[in-house]
Amino acid sequence: MILHFQNARLIDPEALTVEEGTLTLRDGRIEAVGAEAPAGAELIDCGGRHLAPGLVDWGVKIGEPGERHKESFRSAGLAAAAGGVTTVIARPDTQPPIDAPESLEFATRRAAETPVNIHHMAALTKGRDGREMVEMSFLQDGGALAFTDGVRVVADTRLMSRCMIYARGLGALIVGHPQEPGLSKGTAATSGKFASLYGLPAVSPMAEVMGLDRDLALVAMTRARYHADQITVAASLPALRRARAEGLDVSAGTSIHHLTLNEFDVGGYRTFFRFTPPLRAEDDRLAMIEAVADGTIDVIASFHTPQDEESKRLPFAEAAPGAVGLQTLLPAAMRLYHSGGLSLPQLWRAMALNPARRLGLGAGRLAPGAPGDLVLFDPDAPFVLDRFTLLSKSKNTPFDGARMQGRVHGTWVDGRQVFGGAA
């Protein structure tokens, strides 16, 4: 099967360019960029819209097994396709966690039925309890791309060092959540005047710095591969830059919500704005945007965390943290583009190219031989988000009722259209 996209504005995250051109897919892979239509090709007129690599969303929570009422593989796949996400990197924080080859095999088998590519991370410790290391080699053989306990921090420094030593021998990637667990336990907001006025249990931004400093010290000791999943405060950035200057194999990500929202959005105790880590000050938000622009932060992800109504309709400090984000990642990112903070190629470098490269995947590129994972969208198309139109089972989004821009018109996975009608 041959598809030929014409009259498109191509976003190339490798060259950091946006250019008018054509793209040809043959048998599910990119054959040529800027070439004429081959004989027998199906022509797709993009109408001047933007054509880009499909998004690679790193750190998605899916409720199978254990919380299928919040999100299933099927509903997550449909939401991802509608949001231009062609590759999902799922977290292991299921019930039970993905901490053994058997549970990984189950999740992989279930994920194969979805319209998008779903890969899995495995837990770092058994039960995500922080007491015993998992069998990394068996899980890696089963297809685990990385190892993480999610938002649970391995507080035992000796155990964490052993995990890193073992991971180094396997070439495995460890994903850490940089927080000092003692300081951050039971908190719901960032310390400061706002949290005090609202009477919310708060944590200092330095808890993130302390957690990151510990992990980076262990990386320096073990020479393991390490990714900090959510960097949200400006004070963390110097440590990241020093680690890279010293030649450590370190990368970092941040959440789209921490790039587009700040602590004042919590006004009125709106629990859809309850996150882990909590929303930060506006200065920190702006610093994160600059860090993405200069490459200090490599990855932007949705950190899709579905929660049901019963989990959210509680007092703010008691409500479950997190928001759905598969379908809102792209339009939320357009806020950064329209405000002048990041260009489209910079966004796609962080949302597609960098996560794919870090995890050893071939996606995230517009180059001959790359997978035919594409999203066709209009970055200027306005709409008002109605959370009940989202395809996720859970509807906990902070963008409900918000005016947004950026509408997905089509999504292709391995050259097969999984969302949208005729372009």
Residue 275's pLDDT is what? 96
Q: What confidence tens digit (pLDDT) does each residue in 25-55 have?
A: 999 999 999 999 999 999 999 999 999 999 9
Weakly modelled stretches of the chain, pLDDT under 50 = 422-423
Residue 242's pLDDT is what? 98
Q: What is the mean pLDDT of the chain?
A: 96
* Domains of the chain with bracketed CATH: 54-358 (3.20.20.140)
The pTM score is 0.96
Residue 268's pLDDT is what? 83
Distances (CA, A) of 279 to 23, 79, 416: 40, 24, 38
Residue 30's pLDDT is what? 97
Q: In angstroms, how far is the first alpha carbon of the chain from the final one?
A: 17
Residue 423's pLDDT is what? 43
Residue 171's pLDDT is what? 97
